[in-house]
Structure 1
Amino acid sequence: MKLPVPARQMLPLLGITVSAFVFNTSEFMPIALLMDISRSFSQTEAETGIMITVYAWMVAVLSLPLMLLGGKLSPKPLLLLTLSVFSIGQVISGLAPTFGILMGGRIVVASAHAIFWSVAAPLAARLVDKGKSPFALSMVATGTAVAMVFGLPLGRVIGLSLGWRMTFLSIAGVTILALIYLFFVFPRMENDESFSLGDLPGLFRNPAISIIFGMTLFFATSYFTTYSYIEPFLHTVAGFSAEGITACLMLVGASGFLGSFVFSKMFNTYPHAIILIGAAGLIVPLLLFLPATVFWPLLLLLCLTMGVVSTLYGVAMQSEIIRHLSISAAPVAMSIYSGIFNVGIGGGTFLGSTITAAGGLPYIGLAGGLLAAISGALCYFRYLPILRKK
């Protein structure tokens, strides 16, 4: 079977894909093991759950300064160092005797996360020939989709069978194997230019990049306003069984494969359409979330659409950042993008919590849909006109 890219490009690309898998599995793993972790430290789930919020906000705060610092290294040493720090954080988390040390371990992991998602997409695009970057970025997105479909359930099974600590230690083991693999197959690359702090204002003066940042804030907030509380919504409002909720969440994760496939096959031909679908595609599904509870197949279709749109948006925006900027500026812009996305995660989770606490659980889709409309409007009225002028 003929590979989409030469083997010398596919091998390191597979390493980045596996790394994306472990990073995404690790980010959301505490959600799947929250009850067990809270019991081991004699805490409530609410007290333990703070580490999820802290993780997201630490990524948001650390992304830019760590990328500016790490950008002084050439790509291969930076990638290997990031994986090393990530595995150390996982070991600290797995062996933590107190909740405070567990939090410290998660902050170490968040530091590695901040750098990895700043460089993963630009490096994947640089690994392949010109014109093949949509495929490379779809591979990274596939690692994310696999994590959502298989990584989280597998981690939960390990945690329930052998204890939650073994889940973190297992992730560390897989990361070390990925690190060794990349040490041998990842090519040496040099930074063609250097990016300094003084160049930073120029990123925000770039109209396309600044609009991407704005769209991302509203997109991530809209998505996580609904997704963070999709489990209680499906149970309380839609009347799904526990098995039905599990199947629905796996469908959302699996839809990432479809989104990745659509992007790799269609972005080069229909870039404007893919960008608009990504930025505005949550409006209808989220606004229909409550009405669809009377017909469960429609609700499943809406969940599938959410997953596809989320993948399309994430990969399309990363592709656009890379296209608009130089090799040295793209990772820095990606770190800002990652930070803004995590601000959206935290903001969406907080907004969903506030709405739910006020008795508005049935209306989380409405709130998310209104925010998605802002993202769609920014894309249609501000971003696409810039692209049409080029």
Structure 2
Amino acid sequence: MLSPKIVRRVKFWRVLCMAFSAFIFNTTEFLPVALLSDIAESFQMSVSQTGLIITIYAWIVSLLSLPFMLLTAKIERRGLLIKLFILFILSHILSCIAWNFQILVISRIGIAISHSIFWAITASLTVRLAPRDKKAQALGLLAMGSALAMVLGLPLGRMIGQWLGWRITFGVIGIVAFVVLIFLYKLLPYLVSKNAGTLKSVPILFQRPLLVGLFVLTAIVISAHFIAYSYIEPFMIQEVNISASETTLILLLFGCAGMIASILFSRFYRLGPAKFLLFAMLLLTYSLFSLWLLKKNSAFTYPLVLIWGIGIAGIGLSLQIRILQLAPDATDVAMAIFSGIYNIGIGSGALLGNQVMQHLGLSYIGIVGGVFTLFSIMCF
């Protein structure tokens, strides 16, 4: 029989595997952004046409998160996770050898399907795998894995793409995913589906005012964030007048801010959950409205981006754990709904930001996003 110390260590490695899984899933989701020009050139297409793979990915995750969660609600979680990784790996192999754009889109659809189920089950699964007194910290570690995708995943993916070609980048992710799959196979115990919920859970969940309020809050806040964040690169270059290389550093800083937020979350959230969420929303609102001021004083760019990143990451963490607490009888269904709404927020925010650019101008994306978050605070 294993000693408590060894059992605790094994649980830590299980959580670490889940965090690394989050890292590769988030890396591949946004990787086309860093490789868009190269992909477009290889298929002799325009960047705007090639960018459809990003939109398709987000909307597939939005539409399929709940249906696929319901279809897999009774499946044992370890086996389901292994099957998801197999689909994930095979889809990356197809991305690597895609002989035309349509095949690349099909491969991305496969990745999006695995993504939709993964993020529906991973938060509750990570909490189950963690030691009893480290559940909030486990969720923070999962968030750190997601944040590292922006800090390390995208830059490394872009570097590999520039050196060896974008196809090799997808191939490398497939190889890394295979290694993670082996660790998951060795470390994860048999995990019976627990409190996953069924189709009958959906109307029950929507009868809970606090939960519905969090779903609405998610849609508003994430849309507000992506109104500005979707166009942060052209905003920094055209409005703040900084170089493309410095813009890359700013994006890296944004990812680092997510890691800081996960540390703050693990230490302070339990002391006052509502206050922590409200404070994070205030940080986001302040950051979005302050983007306008960067036109006059770019010296505040770095601290402002740091505050922005901490705010949005803190919001995401707070919403996830609160939803898990409000839906203990149907955690996976609730998280599937959350994942779908989150991705709707991504798509809606990008679309609204595009309209702001066309009708008001690029400099107004922060102000419009700030109005949305200010409204959410008033409703909070």
TM-score range relative to shorter protein: over 0.9
Preserved contact between residue 196 and residue 333 of structure 2 (Cα < 8 Å): no
Percent identical among aligned pairs is: 37
Counterpart mapping for 1:176-195 below 5 A: 176-193=178-195, 195=197
Q: Trace 1:289-368 onto structure 2 (pairs within 5 A).
A: 289-326=291-328, 329-358=330-359, 360-368=361-369
- 1:262-281 mapped onto 2 (5 Å cutoff): 262-281=264-283
How far, CA to CA, are the matches of 1:193 and 1:355 in structure 2? Answer: 42
Equivalent residue for 1:31, pick from 30, 33, 37: 33
Say which of 173, 184, 187 aligns to 1:171: 173
CA distance in structure 1 between the aligned counterparts of 2:323 and 2:360, rounded to whole angstroms: 40
Cα offset for 1:177? 0.7
Deviation at 1:262, TM superposition (A): 0.2
- On the 8 A contact 1:211/1:378 being kept in 2, the answer is no
Contact preservation (8 Å) 1:26, 1:171:
yes
May I ask how many residue pairs the two structures share in their alignment?
375
Residue 207 of structure 1 and its aligned partner are, at CA, apart by 1.2
Aligned to 1:91: 93
Shift of 1:372: 1.1
Query: Could you report, residue by residue, the CA deviation over 1:176-219 in whole angstroms, capped at 9, with x for unpaired residues?
Result: 11011000101222234562212210011111110110000011
CA distance in 1, matches of 2:371, 2:293: 16
8 Å CA contact 1:278–1:309 kept in 2: the answer is yes
Looking at structure 1, the residues matched to 319 and 155 of structure 2 have their Cα atoms a distance apart, in angstroms, of 28
3-state SS in 1 of match to 2:270: coil
> Structure 1 residue runs of 4+, over 4 Å off?
none
Distance 1:179 1:172 in 2: 10
Can you give the 5+ residue segments of structure 2 that lack an aligned partner in the other structure? none
Task: Say if 2:13 is the partner of 1:11.
Answer: yes
Structure 1 residue 162 displacement after superposition: 0.7
Task: Give deviations 1:16-43, integer Å, cap 9, x for gaps.
Answer: 0110000010000000000000001110
C-alpha separation between the residues in 1 aligned to 2:49 and 2:277?
39
Match of 1:384 in 2: none
The alpha carbon displacement at 1:359 in A equals: 5.3
Q: CA RMSD in A?
A: 1.4
Once residues 374 and 334 of structure 1 are traced to their aligned partners in structure 2, the CA distance between those partners, rounded to angstroms, is 24
- Distance in 2, Cα, partners of 1:376 & 1:171: 39
Gaps of 5+ in 1: 380-390
- Measured after TM superposition, the shift of residue 358 of structure 1 is 3.1
2-side partners of 1:193 and 1:123: how far apart?
11
**Distance in structure 2 (CA, Å) of the matches to 1:254 and 1:189:** 33
Q: Secondary structure of the equivalent of 2:228?
A: helix
Change (3 A) 1:339 1:294: same
In structure 2, the partner of 1:128 is 130
